[in-house]
Amino acid sequence: MKRKLLHSLLLLWSVFLFNSCISVSFTGASIPAAAKTLSIAYIENNADFVNPTLSEVLTSALRDRFSAQTSLDLIPAGGDLQFEGAITSYKTSPQSIQSTDIAAQTRLTVSIRIKFTNLIEPQNNFETTFTAYSDYNSELDLATVQDALIAQIKEMLIDDIFNKAVVNW
């Protein structure tokens, strides 16, 4: 009896899954089945302090994430799902002040404003600022650790943007 119930539930679940209006992937993305295309505009750098490679790094990383974890076709503009944005802040600040009034750590913080437009489900549109940071030893020069810090910050930002846009758990 339990086996028959289990088979019935599996059958019901598979019928629901294949007839659903939402496409579910094993990455956790929940994308409307009608969405076929994606456009991600170049992320401009409007920060006061500009890292010359950061725009390209973030734009490429966002495009790569969606290409790798969804079946959407990436097009230059006018996609069913659309992203545009700008880096609004790139700054360092002292952290962990010691008794000698010298910071033991410095924090690199990056903020990016993203506008997401979902033409299929407009109720999921948003415009949000995402911020991520990474700390490093204050005795080190930012130029020597910057690439590693940006790699960490980039992953955090892309995870947050991807999750807000298409992971609706």
| 113-158 pLDDT tens trace | 999 999 999 999 999 999 999 999 989 999 999 999 999 999 999 9
Q: Which two tokens stand for residue 82?
A: 């659309």
Among the listed residues 149, 116, 143, the one whose alpha carbon sits nearest the alpha carbon of residue 130: 116
What local confidence, expressed as pLDDT, does residue 117 receive?
A: 98
Pairing between β-strand 103-118 and β-strand 126-137 as defined by DSSP bridges:
antiparallel
pTM of the model: 0.81
| Rounded Cα gap, residues 88 and 99, in angstroms | 33
What local confidence, expressed as pLDDT, does residue 153 receive?
A: 98
Q: List pLDDT tens digits, range 9-61.
A: 454 444 444 444 444 344 457 899 999 999 999 999 999 999 999 999 999 99
Report all structural domains of the chain as residue ranges with CATH numbers, in order of start.
Answer: 36-166 (3.30.160.150)
